[in-house]
């Protein structure tokens, strides 16, 4: 008999504090059983060696590929009805286009990323539907976590002003994390509603752009295009959105 059961049997003779500890231990045991059950939910069919692939990506990489291995651990054939990625930046394929596996047979799902528009920490999912899964609930979700060096860090990515609010100036911060200096060479905006001014804080390392709306009387949208001389193509152009709109219900305006 384990500790929690002993404490439960004699709970009347123990202090409330000790009885509370017994209840906490019981909850921990139940949670452990649930986790173990979910982890082995596919033990009678298709099961993957791992559900997470975490990759460190070179700053200049254009693509990266990872592979998820699986096997049929059940006693009868099991079928993958379909699988799909959560992002258009991913191409997924299953080895030999094979979907049905006899007991003990193995297979792989390969995922290739187009990195042109990705930077920083990126998490994407692949949904695997087995033969009895409804379209809204896959049995298995695979995750890929990429760590891509953020050579040109731009914050914030969006500037928001409320309609009829103050037309105050907001600032975009651009910080360079490269082995050599990177310069901001040009800044433009798709809308003349937003005035902007580039400032050099530290040449090749840190820049700021002040953005001010002409007025806030109506809804407007502008896209600021920030060009750099970075030798890595995906960092040569950055974008920031400038928006004047009505706040969403419950939204608090945050000053960047």
Residue 3 clears pLDDT 90, i.e. is over it: no
Band the pLDDT of 37: cuts 50, 70, 90.
Answer: very low
CATH code: domain of residue 240: 2.60.40.10
* Cβ count near 155 (within 10 Å): 11
Band the pLDDT of 119: cuts 50, 70, 90.
Answer: confident
Tell whether 121 is covered by a domain.
yes
From CA 208, how far away is CA 202, in angstroms rounded? 10
Does 178 share its domain with 240? yes
pLDDT at position 40: 39
From CA 207, how far away is CA 215, in angstroms rounded? 25
Tell whether 80 is covered by a domain.
yes
b/e per residue 45-68 (b: at least 16 CB within 10 A): bbbbeeeeeeeebebebeebebeb
**Cα dist from 209 to 43, 175, 202, 224, whole Å:** 55, 12, 13, 10
Mean pLDDT over residues 216-224, rounded?
96
At which of 124, 148, 172 does a domain end?
A: 148
Residue 182 clears pLDDT 90, i.e. is over it: yes
pLDDT at position 64: 97
**pTM for the whole thing?**
0.67
- The end-to-end CA distance of the chain, in Å, is 58
pLDDT at position 27: 52
Does 210 share its domain with 229? yes
pLDDT, tens digit (0-9, with 9 covering 90-100), for 77-117? 999 999 999 999 999 999 999 999 999 999 999 999 999 88
Phi then psi for 80, rounded to 5 degrees? -90, 110
For CA atoms 190, 194, 197, 202, give the dihedral sign.
Answer: negative
Which range is least confidently modeled, 18-27, 139-148, 158-167, 245-254?
18-27
Tell whether 74 is covered by a domain.
yes
Residue 227 clears pLDDT 50, i.e. is over it: yes
Which range is least confidently modeled, 23-27, 30-34, 193-197, 247-251?
30-34
**Closest to 92 measured CA to CA, from 46, 127, 118:** 127
Does 60 share its domain with 134? yes
pLDDT at position 32: 44
pLDDT at position 255: 47
Band the pLDDT of 240: cuts 50, 70, 90.
Answer: very high
The answer to whether the CB of 190 falls within 8 A of the CB of 226 is no
- Give how many domains the chain has, as a whole number: 3
pLDDT at position 11: 38
Tell whether 142 is covered by a domain.
yes
Mean pLDDT over residues 193-214, rounded?
97
> In the structure encoding, which two tokens stand for residue 188, read together?
């433009």
CB contact set of 208 (below 8 Å; sequence gap of 6+): 171, 172, 173, 174, 198, 199, 201
From CA 17, how far away is CA 107, in angstroms rounded? 52
Does 232 share its domain with 162? yes
Residue 44 clears pLDDT 80, i.e. is over it: no
> In the structure encoding, which two tokens stand for residue 171, read together?
């600032």
The answer to whether the CB of 49 falls within 8 A of the CB of 70 is yes
For 4, how many CA atoms within 13 A lie in the half-sphere containing its CB? 11
Does 71 share its domain with 12? no
The answer to whether the CB of 202 falls within 8 A of the CB of 175 is no
Tell whether 255 is covered by a domain.
no
At which of 148, 165, 199 does a domain end?
A: 148
Q: Residue 111 belongs to what domain range?
A: 46-148
Residue with the larger pLDDT of the pair 8 and 68:
68
Residue 30 clears pLDDT 90, i.e. is over it: no
Does 15 share its domain with 68? no
pLDDT at position 8: 40
């Amino acid at each position: 008999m384990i500790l929690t059961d002993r404490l439960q049997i004699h709970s009347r003779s123990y202090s409330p504090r000790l009885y509370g500890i017994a209840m906490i231990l019981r909850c921990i045991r139940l949670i452990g059983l649930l986790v173990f059950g979910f982890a082995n939910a596919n033990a009678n069919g298709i099961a993957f060696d791992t559900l997470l692939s975490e990759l460190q990506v070179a700053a200049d990489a254009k693509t990266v590929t990872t592979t998820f291995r699986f096997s049929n651990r059940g006693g009868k054939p099991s079928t993958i009805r379909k699988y799909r990625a959560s992002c258009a930046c991913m191409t997924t394929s299953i080895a030999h286009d094979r979907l049905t596996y006899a007991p003990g047979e193995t297979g792989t799902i390969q995922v290739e990323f187009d990195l042109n528009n990705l930077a920083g920490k990126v998490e994407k999912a692949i949904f695997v539907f087995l033969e009895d899964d409804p379209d809204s609930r896959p049995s298995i979700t695979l995750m890929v976590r990429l760590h891509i060096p953020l050579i040109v860090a731009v914050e914030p990515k969006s500037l928001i002003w409320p309609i009829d609010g103050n037309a105050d100036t907001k600032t975009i911060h651009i910080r360079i994390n490269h082995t050599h200096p990177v310069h901001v060479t040009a800044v433009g905006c798709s809308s003349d509603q937003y005035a902007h001014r580039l400032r050099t804080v530290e040449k090749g390392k840190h820049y700021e752009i002040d953005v001010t709306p002409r007025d806030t009387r109506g809804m407007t949208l502008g896209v600021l295009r920030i060009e750099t001389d970075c030798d890595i193509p995906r960092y040569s152009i950055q974008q920031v959105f400038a928006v004047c709109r009505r706040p969403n219900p419950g939204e608090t305006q945050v000053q960047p």
